[in-house]
């Protein structure tokens, strides 16, 4: 299940849905990203996320397909919010089920790393000088590059 949406999501509902659909899987791993209320320049009053309607959804689907090629997975749920989001609010959810925890942990991390470097989403942060576009981080690319040299271990 992929969703790009303005509205917030209920983490418990997402977990419950994954658990109900798990169909014999022994592991559920979820990741939830929150808006930080600070960055290197100081406090952040909130963020605004722009996306590319159509392509963002396709990218997320492609990322999930790529994860399924590498690990034996049951259910995958990815939610990314767009628009204006306040400090400490939820931005992104990734939930994965698998027979065993290792695949679920790895796939969840892979999906968020891949999302951060390839899904067309752009973040602006509210600073004391107004809204500022966030620069991409080399650490995100390095996190993604780690996966380039790994193959399916499950």
Partner 1 sequence: MIQIKFFASLRESIGTSSLNLEYAGENTVADVAHELVERGANWRLLEERDVLCAVNQTLCGKDAKINDGDEIAFFPPVTGG
List residues near partner 1 by CB under 8 A.
33, 49-52, 54-55, 58-59, 80, 91-92, 112, 115-123, 133-136, 140
Q: What are phi and psi of 109, to 5 degrees?
A: -65, -40
Q: Nearest distance from residue 133's CB to partner 1, in Å?
A: 4
Of the pair 107, 115, the CB lying nearest partner 1 is at 115
Of the pair 16, 88, the CB lying nearest partner 1 is at 88
* Bridge pairing between strands 130-133 and 73-81: unpaired
Of the pair 39, 150, the CB lying nearest partner 1 is at 39
Best CA proximity match to 81, nearest among 10, 152, 154: 10
Residue 98 · residue 108 · CB < 8 Å: no
Q: Nearest distance from residue 122's CB to partner 1, in Å?
A: 4
Cα(first)–Cα(last) distance of the chain, in Å?
Answer: 22
């Amino acid at each position: 299940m992929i969703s790009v949406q303005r509205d917030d999501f209920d983490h418990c509902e997402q977990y419950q849905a994954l658990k109900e659909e798990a169909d014999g899987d022994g592991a559920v791993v979820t990741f939830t990203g929150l808006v930080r209320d600070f960055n290197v320049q100081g406090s952040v009053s909130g963020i605004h996320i722009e996306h590319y309607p159509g392509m963002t959804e396709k990218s997320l689907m492609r990322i999930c397909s790529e994860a399924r090629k590498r690990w034996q997975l049951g259910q995958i749920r990815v939610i990314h919010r767009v628009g204006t989001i306040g400090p400490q609010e939820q931005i992104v959810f990734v939930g994965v089920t698998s027979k065993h925890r290792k695949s679920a942990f790895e796939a969840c991390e892979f999906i968020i790393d891949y999302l951060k470097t390839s899904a067309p989403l752009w973040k602006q942060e509210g600073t004391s000088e107004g809204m500022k576009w966030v620069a991409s981080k080399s650490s995100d690319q390095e996190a993604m590059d780690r996966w380039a040299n790994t193959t399916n271990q499950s």
